[in-house]
Amino acid sequence: MSTSVALITGCAVVTYAIKGIGPLALGGRDLPLWFTSVVILLAPALFAALVVTQALADGKHIGIGADTVGVAAGGLVAWRFGSVIGCVVVAALVTAGLRAV
Amino acid sequence: MALAAPGTLPLMDESHPNDRRQRLLDGMRAGMPFAVAGGLLALSFGVVAQSAGLSAGEAIAMSAIVFAGSAQFTAIAIIAQGGTVAAAVLAAALVNSRFLPMGVALGPSLPGGPMRRAAQGQAIVDASWGIAGRGDGTFDRWLLFGSTAVQYVGWVGGTIAGALGGNALGDPKALGLDAIYPAFFLALLIGELTDRRSRLVAALAALIALALVPVTPAGVPVLAASLASLVGLHASARADARARTDGR
């Protein structure tokens, strides 16, 4: 098996397993209030962590780069105008512009 | 975001087929901006994967089969640095580990037996999971399916364009394409910050993640940050206490 095939197969297997295990284990049952209260807050927790780890971290180092400024500019667009496409386009343009100067 | 009455929430999917079709279309419409954003990002994946040693066909196959952007980028980065396949797959699993709590949250809203639910769980991607959430702890699976379908097309289509026309694209970093992913997640986050509690949890999660970045492998900070949602237990306890007081 080539490296590429092993890589694709391995990534596919772990992804399918991780996405499937929650629905496989928990389903067809009513939700207790404590569970609901936690689930509602999972989205802001996960999305906030994804933003900071990708916009502020470079490997194991934390710092501010052109992409951080770009993401902040994109965030302003998302906040003011509610446009996802505007957000990512502005983030890319500002980041590219800062790297070009 | 209003919490349901103390006790339990019913499973809801006894709707008419026309209603399901409408929700599927609604999901596709809601997922479209994320599909475009994902497509732009996939352009750069098509280029980066080839520079790491994959052929154009393999890069496209990876997007079509794995369909997990951040895990794909992570795995490719490790291979490009000379890492082993095992290390790349493990890193991809860690980055994907955020889908564990998402799947646990989604599970009770899916009908059918365990294998059917696991199959439906494959539709989990970040934006769709956010879109499908009803705000009361339950999820609309038709919104999830519709949103994921268009994002799949965007992701695979973007990879094909990047893999086959990557030379014309140039350096993805010079084009700022690496800023698309965090911007994408920031747009999702802004939509979730609806009250004081969600903002508090987001800030706490960000702090946990940043604190762990220097000392843990990629993926662990995000997974650990999901623990910030346990703040919800406090809200649940308060609601229980209020219900007991009202019942006296």
Predicted ipTM? 0.87
Q: What is residue B181's predicted lDDT score, i.e. its pLDDT?
A: 83
Question: CA dist B135 to A99, B129, B225, Å?
Answer: 40, 11, 20
- Say if residues B229 and A42 touch (Cβ distance below 8 Å): yes
Q: Do B182 and A67 touch (CB under 8 A)?
A: yes
Sign of the C-alpha dihedral computed for residues A77, A82, A84 and A86 taken in this order: negative
- The amino acid at residue B238 is R
Q: What is the pLDDT along chain B (248 residues), one digit of tens a residue?
A: 333 333 333 444 556 777 889 999 999 999 999 999 899 889 888 988 888 889 999 999 999 999 998 889 888 877 877 778 998 898 888 888 888 888 989 999 999 999 999 999 999 999 999 999 988 888 999 999 999 999 999 999 999 999 998 778 778 888 888 888 889 889 889 988 988 999 999 999 999 999 999 998 877 888 888 899 888 787 767 766 776 776 65
Beta bridge partners of A61: A58
The Cα A47–Cα B98 span in angstroms is 10
How far apart, in whole angstroms, are the C-alpha atoms of residue B154 and residue B35?
Answer: 5
The label of the residue with tokens 């949250």 reads B105
- Nearest residue to B52 (alpha-carbon basis) of A8, A57, A58: A8
A56 touches chain B (CB under 8 A): yes
Cα distance from B18 to chain A (closest Cα, Å)?
23
Mutate to test the interface with A, among B43, B89, B96, B186 (most CBs of A within 10 A): B186
Residue type at position B24: L
